[in-house]
Structure 1
């Protein structure tokens, strides 16, 4: 089930964020960087995001068996250089690895696209780590297009809405 996140979800989103981040980036990033992501720090961040969500921003959660197992966030384009390319941005899409390939990621993706369309936008961008082959394959399968490198480690993709 996919639904809009509410402030009471901050703790569970933080737990998923830290776990999925570790599952995704261990081996791609230094262990000390991975280990610096803590539930307490992420919870504070998610409490702020969910209580002070900016206009045009939205966060969705995926649930299974009454637990949050993934989340995704959209917002207006933050990068001024990308605004001529796309008005919206998918800021995050994380799913616990034990729920991969079960349709939850695709459902979160479609929730994001629906929200961005609702805002009246025609394209969105998102970044993916160059070494995250599973995410790149997922986004390619969803019809996203490589746009340009963001930096040495990240790629910018675009998607038509």
Structure 2
């Protein structure tokens, strides 16, 4: 891996294919056992492209997406939905970083950006995310960053998948992340 500088910028609709590809790759690497191999190996890339194309198809001021790039390569991204839940506040819906860039501060920078966006939109500084119960490494990172675990719910990540997965809600005081 080169020492290429990582830069950050807001996403545009033209970034949807790259976001979808990284999203699918991250799920393929981290969600084995939670989602079917059939979905991960044969359907995830196209399905994630459909999701991200749809998300960018209409202007939505409540959806904010930030990219982390090293040269021309997308190495991470996060997506925040502001005003998502009256109880939990803004939703950090996605935070994905390529495996070879993990531990280099990319995820920390992205979650800080999400916190800045959340604080600007919510006077109560609320930010939350859902992490799969089986994704213990991500849960540990969120706890290290000050996240407090809350309720557990069954989530249907992908329509048509055979069973929902157990996910834990993690709450942040967004101001503490900045």
TM-score interval for Structure 1 and Structure 2 normalised by the shorter chain = 0.7 to 0.9
Question: CA contact under 8 A between 1:17 and 1:42: conserved in structure 2?
Answer: yes
Counterpart residue number, 2:159: none
Question: CA contact under 8 A between 1:21 and 1:94: conserved in structure 2?
Answer: no
Match runs of 1:15-30 below 5 Å:
15-30=21-36
What SS does the corresponding residue of 2:115 show, helix, strand or coil?
A: helix
Residues 1:153 and 2:173 are matched in the alignment: no
Q: CA deviation at 1:49?
A: 1.5
Structure 2: where are the runs of 5+ without partners?
A: 1-6, 155-164
Structure 1: where are the runs of 5+ without partners?
A: none
TM-score by length of 2: 0.80
Q: CA deviation at 1:36?
A: 4.9
Counterpart residue number, 2:91: 89
Match for residue 133 of structure 1 among 123, 136, 139? 136
Q: CA deviation at 1:105?
A: 0.8
Residues 1:10 and 2:16 are matched in the alignment: yes
What SS does the corresponding residue of 1:33 show, helix, strand or coil?
A: helix
Paired with 1:30 and 1:9, the residues of 2 have a C-alpha distance of: 27
Q: 1:32 to 1:108 in 2, by over 3 A?
A: same
Q: CA deviation at 1:139?
A: 0.2
CA RMSD across the alignment: 1.8
Match runs of 1:18-57 below 5 Å:
18-57=24-63
Q: CA deviation at 1:7?
A: 1.0
Paired with 1:106 and 1:10, the residues of 2 have a C-alpha distance of: 22
